[in-house]
Each structure stands twice: as C-alpha cells, then as structure tokens.
C-alpha cells in the first residue's frame, strides 16, 4: 500500500514518503522498534486500523529513483501503537488487491475509524463535497450528495452522447490534496447548512448512531 496513518481511529490517509512519515511520527517509538538487525518502522493501515510495516523508508540515494517506500500489513501487535485484528485484516482491500468490497456494507458503530469517519462526514460534509467538486470538476446536487453518503464509493461513466453505450474514456483518476480539509476551510468563508443537514439526517438514520456522537 502507498498510504498510512499515524494512529488508529483516525479518518485520514497519508501518502507514504520519508518526509511525511517523519513529520507524522518523528521516527521514534512506538512507530520505531529497534531489533538485532536494526530499526523497523511501523504505522497504521488507513482502512483496517491494523499495524503496517513501512518498507524501504530510508534507501540509498542510488536506489531511491527506482523504488518507493511502501507499507505491508504486520500480522501482530505493535505495543503502544495498535493491536492486530485478524478479521479486519481479512476484510481489508489493502491486504488483498483482488478483494471486492460490498458497497452497501457499513463499519460497526463501535469501530474507532468508523466513528471518526461518521463524525467527519457529519461535521464537515459541505467541505467534503467542495473537495470532491474541486478534484473532479463534477457538481454534486442534493440527491447525489445523499448517494455519496450511503454508498461512500460510486462509479462514473462518461458516454459523451454515444448511442452504443460504450465507455468514451478510461476510468477517472483523481489526485487528492492530502491537506484538503484545511484548504477547503480556507476557500469556503461560510458553511453550507443544507449539506450539513443532509449529512446529519442520512447518517443518523442509516447508521443508527446518535447525531451528537
């Protein structure tokens, strides 16, 4: 995987690099563990909250162009950081690239990352929507915004007026600003209460989680 987060229970995904890892962890315990063969560096999977080991974080200069650091699941506890959950690992898309996620599935209400995601979407949904529109160039109306909350992922296909129903171009890839939340907050002087009401109503009814949690 090419992303990590520093702590479990956070709704974040940070691109792995030497700079971002050191900025978020300082390269010290509990993320760094020293052994007989030297230090190992750990973080948390952004999807399943399990520990991951960062591979190739400090490569020699002549190797750095050909290889990028990456994360792989560590099937064991990392004391002081997080505990390993076998069931979460087996259902993690990063653990199996061929894994197919049921888009109707919901995280358990007691899941720390799930609660963080629900809190983020309830409290910042207008800015989430603004970030999506800036990255994709596609406006979300109220109906599409509700669909975004219920499905969390959705596929787009552009036909550009073709009558044969064939896809007109390759799948859309979005380059996401890792600091999108503060950047959208700076770009939006006021809050969109309509979208915030949609988020509170939809997530409370679909997830069964009280709006103040």
Q: pTM higher than 0.85 for the full model?
A: no
Among 6-10, 50-54, 59-63, 85-89, the range scoring the smallest mean pLDDT is 59-63
Averaged over 208-212, what is the pLDDT?
Answer: 45
Position 7 confidence tier, pLDDT thresholds 50, 70, 90: very high
**If DSSP states are collapsed to H, E and C, what string results for the chain?**
CCEEECCCCCCCCEECCHHHHHHHHCCCCCCEEEECCEEEEEEECCCCCCEEEEECCCCCHHHHCCCCCEEEECCCCECCCECCCHHHHHCCCCCCCCCCCCCCCCCCCCCHHHHHHHHHHHHHHHHHHHHHHHHHCCCCCHHHHHHHHHHCCCCCCCCCCCCCCCCCCCCCCCCCCCCHHHHHHHHCCCCCHHHHHHHHHHHHHHHCCCCCC
The residue among 80 and 200 whose pLDDT is bigger is: 80
The residue among 173 and 118 whose pLDDT is bigger is: 118
Averaged over 42-58, what is the pLDDT?
Answer: 92
Q: Which pLDDT does position 159 carry in this prediction? A: 62
Percent of the chain with pLDDT over 90: 25
């Amino acid at each position: 995987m090419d992303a990590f987060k520093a702590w479990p229970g956070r709704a974040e995904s940070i691109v792995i690099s030497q700079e971002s890892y050191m900025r978020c962890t300082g390269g010290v315990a509990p993320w760094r563990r020293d052994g007989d063969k030297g230090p190992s560096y750990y973080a948390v999977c952004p999807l399943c909250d399990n520990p991951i080991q960062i591979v190739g974080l400090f490569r020699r200069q002549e190797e750095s162009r050909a290889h990028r650091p990456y994360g792989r699941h560590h099937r064991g506890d990392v004391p002081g950081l997080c505990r390993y959950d076998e069931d979460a690992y087996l259902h993690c898309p990063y653990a199996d690239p061929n894994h197919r996620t049921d888009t109707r599935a919901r995280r358990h209400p007691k899941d720390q990352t799930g609660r963080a995601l629900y809190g983020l979407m309830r409290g910042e949904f207008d800015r989430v929507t603004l970030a999506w529109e800036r990255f994709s160039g596609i406006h979300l109306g109220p109906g599409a915004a509700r669909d975004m909350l219920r499905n969390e992922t959705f596929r787009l296909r552009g036909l550009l007026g073709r009558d044969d129903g064939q896809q007109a171009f390759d799948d859309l890839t979005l380059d996401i600003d890792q600091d999108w939340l503060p950047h959208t907050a700076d770009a939006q002087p006021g809050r969109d209460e309509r979208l915030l009401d949609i988020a509170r109503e939809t997530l409370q009814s679909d997830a069964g989680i009280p709006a103040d949690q």
